[in-house]
């Protein structure tokens, strides 16, 4: 029963880690770029949800109605105005732009919001469901549900919508997609917008589960990178499985060995299949 409890807790927590890595996977799979500002975008989403929920007196989940479209617009604008132009000079220049964005976002949040710890309190944050001798934190269950909804929505968007199919075409062969009349630069902007909206959803979960600071972005960038590499860079199903595995490692290994196990797996993946970049 004890192992089953750890298994459930690890899987529920892993859904959040998968959501954190999903935006980085999406951008890498389509744009071919590692977004070094992803961690700061997650924290920006956490601040947005926390402050809105506090100001309006509503459950933090309801703030997604505002944060998702706003963060999508931010990602779209950043890709259109900055990153697309930098990519014309090479991926190295675009990588440096995302690094600069991470510094600007972190310093901006520190200047405007102070260095105080924040947390999005919920009425069910300490509620535990008991079933068959198992104790399941309701908050973890809610966050897992948010992760599954976003992953399922993204899969539906990519497979059933015209824009989603255009995104897949650009990912498969951008030159052929361009010859077919697809505006590749616009598709890049849409992909970045969706990834940034995913960062907003991940930020909501981070804010409800843990305390965070303006400087917390690096921690979640590392988590996103680890999950993305283990899952196969550019693979959404792989990222989901890697997130679940990362959650299990965190719970089973504990504070002392959880990260060690995860980093060991990442190094093994890089050694065995360093070119794993399939888009699924």
Does residue 145 belong to any structural domain of this protein?
yes
For the beta carbon of residue 254, count every other beta carbon within 10 angstroms. Answer: 12
43 domain residue, yes or no = yes
Residue whose entry in the numeric block shows the structure tokens 């989603």? 164
Q: What is the pLDDT of residue 63?
A: 97
Q: Please report the pLDDT score of residue 273 as a whole number.
A: 60
Query: Is 17 inside any structural domain?
Result: no
Report the pLDDT value the prediction gives residue 2, as an integer from 0 to 100.
75
Q: Phi, psi at residue 137, to the nearest 5°?
A: -60, 125
Classify residue 195: in a domain, yes or no: yes
Structure tokens at 24: 């980085």
What are the residues whose beta carbons fall under 8 Å from the beta carbon of 237, sequence distance 6 or more?
231, 280
Cα–Cα distance, 165 to 70 (Å, whole number): 24
* Averaged pLDDT, groups of 10, the chain, 280 residues long: 81 93 92 94 98 96 97 98 93 94 97 94 91 88 95 91 92 89 95 97 96 95 89 81 86 76 74 55
Query: Does residue 274 sit within a domain?
Result: no
Number of other CB atoms surrounding residue 272 within 10 Å: 8
Domain that holds residue 186: 32-224
In a domain, 157, yes or no: yes
50 lies in some domain: yes
Give this prediction's pTM.
Answer: 0.93
What domain count does the chain have? 1
**Inter-residue contact 29 to 187 (CB < 8 Å):** no
276 is a domain residue: no
Q: What is the pLDDT of residue 249?
A: 84
User: How far is it between the farthest Cα atoms of the chain?
Assistant: 60
């Amino acid at each position: 029963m004890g192992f089953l409890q750890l298994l459930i807790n690890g899987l529920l927590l892993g859904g959040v880690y998968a959501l954190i890595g999903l935006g980085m996977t999406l951008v890498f799979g389509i744009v071919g770029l590692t977004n070094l500002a992803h961690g700061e975008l997650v924290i920006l989403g956490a601040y947005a949800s926390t402050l809105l929920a506090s100001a309006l007196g509503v459950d933090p989940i309801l703030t997604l109605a505002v944060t998702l479209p706003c963060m999508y617009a931010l990602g779209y604008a950043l890709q259109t105005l900055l990153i697309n132009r930098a990519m014309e000079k090479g991926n190295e220049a675009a990588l440096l732009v995302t690094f600069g964005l991470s510094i600007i976002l972190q310093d901006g949040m520190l200047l405007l919001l102070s260095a105080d710890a924040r947390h999005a309190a919920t009425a069910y944050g300490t509620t535990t469901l008991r079933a068959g001798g198992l104790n399941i934190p309701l908050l973890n269950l809610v966050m897992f549900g948010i992760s599954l909804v976003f992953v399922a929505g993204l899969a539906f968007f990519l497979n059933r919508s015209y824009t989603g199919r255009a995104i897949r075409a650009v990912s498969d062969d951008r030159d052929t997609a361009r010859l077919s009349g697809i505006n590749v630069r616009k598709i890049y902007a849409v992909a970045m917008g969706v990834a940034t909206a995913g960062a907003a959803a991940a930020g909501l979960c981070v804010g409800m589960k843990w305390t965070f600071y303006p400087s917390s972005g690096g921690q979640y960038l590392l988590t996103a990178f680890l999950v993305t590499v283990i899952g196969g860079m550019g693979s959404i199903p792989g990222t989901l499985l890697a997130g679940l595995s990362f959650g299990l490692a965190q719970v089973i290994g504990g504070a002392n060995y959880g990260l060690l196990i995860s980093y060991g797996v990442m190094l093994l993946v890089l050694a065995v299949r360093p070119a794993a970049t399939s888009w699924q």
